[in-house]
Amino acid sequence: MARRRQSITIKHVAADAGVSLQTVSRVINNEPNVRPAMKERVQASIDKLGYVPSIAAQRMSGSRSYLILAINDRERTIADWTARQGGDWVDQMLLGGMLTASEHGYRMLIELVDTHDDHVERELGAALSALHPDGVVLTPPHSENSQITGLLAERGIRFARIGSKEPGPGIAMTMDDDGAAEEATRHLLELGHTRIGFIAGSEEYSLSDWRKAGWERTMGEAGLDCDDLCVRGDFGFDSGLAAARKLLALDAPPTAIIGSSDQMTLATLEVAHEQGLEVPRDLSLISFDNTPIVRFSNPKLTAIDQPIAKTIARAVELLIDRDGDEVEQPVVVSGELVVRQSTAAPPSGT
């Protein structure tokens, strides 16, 4: 039976080069206080042995942990995973964050924390103590939870707040939600719609009102009334059903509806089918998120693509860069409108 090959560790490199573990660590971390000759000596041993630096070896210097921690909402994440309805928020977080972290010699881990838990500080504190991350990425609604941001600030941990414009510690970042809503509304206006409904998201998220504000502003600039055309949901499918039925029951129902999530927009599509409306002939629809499922609906949904991967990647870059706090805030990463089959000119005579 073949003998299993022994893994090369920092101890092997130190022994081969005839130096201390700390010296090897300083070379690995590219620290300035290493003589060129010593650096060449250690690097020669690394090359000869085929050693690949580990996180543990990099952390020996004590200056950095080489870990970025991303915090996502436990309740909503588990609900999405359990429902298996095509959401890819965490996938996109991993795509953007893990690849970017790896490019800089870091690793990104994701922790699920319940923002509504009375013990949120203790729960997060335990994770921080165990991992000692160099930076933390907060996603909504954690990004506006004062207990969480206060704890991170108190411990001197750098963090990015996705979906937050509020002044305070940490790097505020948005995905240009109001601008995206403006773009969606302009698209419908250009098609000739004047009665454009809007299904807003949960008030727990500031971005819900940013999207609503973008729609209202664009409607107002076009000289159009939108007083009765907004109904609030909670981003979920059932709330979308209720909101769509309310909008389509108006004496002058909208000829187009923008939904603040894919689930609510898919629910609106179902209500339209129930009422004998054909999309987009009788009703145009635009969604937010652009998760994989909208490409398999009938018709395929026009959607605002949320730049989750790009935003998390940018957050990781700013956290690794020690000068990241000097950037103009909020840092805005814009998405784009992906036009598919669910938007068209309004019915004639409307």
- Using one digit for the tens of pLDDT, what is the confidence trace for 221-271? 999 988 899 999 999 999 999 999 999 999 999 999 999 999 999 999 999
The better pLDDT of the pair 3, 270 is held by 270
Residue 162: its H or E element: strand 158-162
Over 70: is that where the pLDDT of 325 sits?
Answer: no
pLDDT of residue 32: 66
Over 80: is that where the pLDDT of 26 sits?
Answer: no
pLDDT of residue 54: 59
Condensed to tens digits (0 to 9), the pLDDT of residues 150-163 reads 999 998 999 999 99
pTM of the model: 0.79
pLDDT of residue 62: 54
Cα 241 from Cα 81, distance rounded (Å): 21
pLDDT of residue 9: 80
Residue 2 CB neighbours (<10 A): 4
Tokens read off for 59: 């952390």
- Residue 124 makes CB contacts below 8 A (sequence gap 6+) with 71, 111, 113, 148, 151
What is the pLDDT averaged over residues 89-116? 88
**CB of 337 within 8 A of CB of 184?**
yes
For helices 120-131 and 146-154, angle between their N-to-C axes, nearest 10 degrees: 40
Phi then psi dihedrals of residue 304, to 5 deg: -80, 120
Cα 10 from Cα 35, distance rounded (Å): 19
What is the pLDDT averaged over residues 177-191? 97
The CA radius of gyration of the chain, in Å to the nearest whole number, is 25
Cα 52 from Cα 288, distance rounded (Å): 42
Q: Give whole-number Cα distances, 344 to 14, 49, 281, in Å.
A: 68, 63, 7
- Residue 39 makes CB contacts below 8 A (sequence gap 6+) with 27
Phi then psi dihedrals of residue 293, to 5 deg: -65, -25
